Amino acid sequence: MLSVTNPSEMLKDVVIPLVTGFGGAIVGAAASYIPSRLLAKRASDEVLARDIAARRDQDIRAAHQVFVKLALLVNSLCGFHEQVESMIAKADREGNEHMPVWQRVSSFAGIELEPSVEFSAEELAIYIAAGQPDFVDELILLSRRHSAMLGNLTAFAKLKTDLIYETFRLGNTERAPETGVSTTRMSVSPGVANSMKARAEELELFTGEVRSMLSMYGAFARDIASRFADVTNGYLGEKSVPSFEPAQRTT
């Protein structure tokens, strides 16, 4: 059992060293804590900055992918439209304006192999983040219209080919060497004649609809392309993506 014979000695020998040691420990811990916290915050800031930079790089890559796909869609739809109109104009210049439109428009060889173009969720997410959901809707609609047009042109090619070969089968065909235009004369029953006439009329109506849709879809594609750079760079920053420029026509 301990006894305290001199309180002053107790204060000198025990309490003061204890307090001094405890205080030193606190000061030492605080001294090491402050630099550690600063280093941790700096590391956290660096990680956050790298994440932001990586996200921006990812967004820019996605925007470039949208640019490429949009270019494919615009050029495809506008190209089909211009080719159809060129075919009709050529036939008219050659004196065949009296022919039905479906006869003045040639089928697009291999159209069934033309790939459709779709935008990924990652690509569309840019415009959600930018607060441009309407632009997302337009891109999706453009992709679907392009796919539908490929289907229409494929159907046109089949319907025209089937009708032509059925005409060849039932009649006598002669081709003018000067123009390459073929003429088929048939002698068939009224029922067969009515069937052929109805098929030709339906094909003419279908061709007119396809022609009209190509014009509308091409204009829709050009409008989206004309706003692409402003919408995208408004979110990612100036000159993050290039803009679409109207094609310079030589004729």
Looking from the CA of 19 toward its CB, the CA atoms found within 13 Å total 7
Q: Which amino acid is residue 247, in one-letter code?
A: A
Rounded to whole angstroms, the Cα distance separating 246 from 238 reads: 20
Rounded to whole angstroms, the Cα distance separating 111 from 121 reads: 27
Residues 190-208 pLDDT 10s: 898 899 999 999 999 999 9
Its pTM stands at 0.74
* CB burial of residue 217 (10 Å; 0-12, 13-18, 19+): buried
pLDDT of residue 18: 47
**1 falls in which pLDDT band (50, 70, 90)?**
very low
Residues 65-114 pLDDT 10s: 999 999 999 999 999 999 999 999 999 998 989 999 999 999 998 888 88
Q: Which residue has the higher pLDDT, 21 or 81?
A: 81
Rounded to whole angstroms, the Cα distance separating 17 from 28 reads: 16
Residues 117-161 pLDDT 10s: 999 999 999 999 999 999 999 999 999 999 999 999 999 999 999
Residue 172's DSSP bridge partners are 185
Q: Dihedral angle at the C-alpha atoms of 68, 73, 75, 80, nearest 10 degrees?
A: 160
- What percent of the chain is predicted at pLDDT more than 70? 75
- The average pLDDT across 52-64 equals 82
Alpha-carbon radius of gyration of the chain? 38
- The average pLDDT across 12-33 equals 52
> 247 pLDDT exceeds 90?
no
> 27 pLDDT exceeds 70?
no
> 42 pLDDT exceeds 90?
no
> 47 pLDDT exceeds 60?
no
pLDDT of residue 56: 78
* CB burial of residue 221 (10 Å; 0-12, 13-18, 19+): buried
> 54 pLDDT exceeds 80?
no
Matching residue, tokens 């061709």: 207
Question: Which helix or strand (DSSP H or E) is residue 173 part of?
Answer: strand 171-175
Residues 212-228 pLDDT 10s: 999 999 999 999 999 99
Which has the closest alpha carbon to 221: 81, 114, 103?
81
- The average pLDDT across 158-177 equals 87
- Are the C-beta atoms of residues 97 and 91 closer than 8 Å to each other? yes
- Residue 124's alpha-carbon distances to 60, 66, 120, 135, in angstroms, are 12, 8, 6, 9
- The average pLDDT across 40-49 equals 56
